[in-house]
A and B are shown apart, each in its own frame.
Chain A
C-alpha cells in the first residue's frame, strides 16, 4: 500500500465550481498533515496545514479523519488561477520527513 495515495485526476471543472480532493495515508502514527499546491516545474507551495478539527482558509476547507486515515480538500468557487497539482503531504510520526502523494491535477476552465 502506498504511504500517501491520491486520485491523480485530472479534474476538469468550470470556473465557479466546487471541487473536492481526497487522500488516504497508511501510517496511523502520522502526526501532521498538509496540502501543498505545485504549478508546472515549480516548487511545492504550502496551501494549508490540516488539523483534526478541520480548518478553513477563504475558499479552501481541509478535513482530517484520523480513524479512517483520510484527508480532504474542498475548493469552492474555483478560479482559473486554482489550476495546479494539489499535493497531499504527511509528516510520519515525529520525524521531520514529509511524505508526498503523487498529486491530483486540477484544471479550471472558463
Chain B
C-alpha cells in the first residue's frame, strides 16, 4: 500500500539554525500539506501546496517557513531560524484530487520530531 514517507524521524537543532524536513508524498497525489503537533496539543495546519505553489497557509506559517517541491518526488519544509517554540512533531500529508469525484482524504506520513534546544 502506498504511503507518505518522511525524513529524518528525529531532528535536534540549536535555536537560530535552519532545518529542512523532507517528505515523499504518495506518487499519484497532487496536493501536499504540512501540519504540526506540539506535544499534548492538537494537530495544526501549516500550509497546503498544489501545482507548484502555496494554495493556503495558516498564521503560523510566517516568513521563517518555506516549502518547496525540488523534484518530482520530494516535498520539503524549511524553517530558516528555529525558535524554541518550533519544537513539535511535523507531519507531511498528501491527497488526490479527482475531476469528477472530489476527495479531501489526506494521508499522513510518520512525522519528524523536531527538538530545538
Q: Which residues of A contact B (CB under 8 A)?
A: 31-32, 34, 38, 41-46, 49, 87, 91, 95-103
- Can you name 5 extra interface pairs (CB under 8 A) apart from A87-B42, A100-B43? A43-B110, A43-B111, A87-B43, A97-B56, A99-B45
Assess the A34–B105 pair: CB atoms within 8 A: yes
Chain A residues with Cβ below 8 Å from B108 are 43-45
Q: Which residues of B contact A (CB under 8 A)?
A: 31, 33, 35, 41-45, 48, 50, 55-56, 58, 89, 91, 93, 95, 104-111, 113
Assess the B42–A44 pair: CB atoms within 8 A: no
Q: Which of B89, B106, B110, B111 contacts A98 (CB 8 A)?
A: B106
Quick one: closest B residue to A91, CB to CB? Answer: B104
B78–chain A nearest beta-carbon distance, Å: 20
Chain B residues with Cβ below 8 Å from A43 are 91, 108-111
Q: Which of A38, A42, A46, A101 contacts B105 (CB 8 A)?
A: A46
Q: How far is the CA of A97 from the CA of B108 in the complex (A)?
A: 13
Chain A residues with Cβ below 8 Å from B31 are 96
Chain A residues with Cβ below 8 Å from B104 are 31-32, 91, 96, 98
Assess the B91–A96 pair: CB atoms within 8 A: no
Assess the B42–A96 pair: CB atoms within 8 A: no
Quick one: closest B residue to A97, CB to CB? Answer: B45
Assess the B91–A49 pair: CB atoms within 8 A: no
Chain B residues with Cβ below 8 Å from A34 are 105
Q: How far is the CA of A95 from the CA of B33 in the complex (A)?
A: 12
A-B pairs with lowest CB-CB distance, top 10 = A43-B108, A96-B48, A100-B43, A32-B104, A102-B42, A91-B104, A97-B45, A100-B42, A44-B108, A43-B110
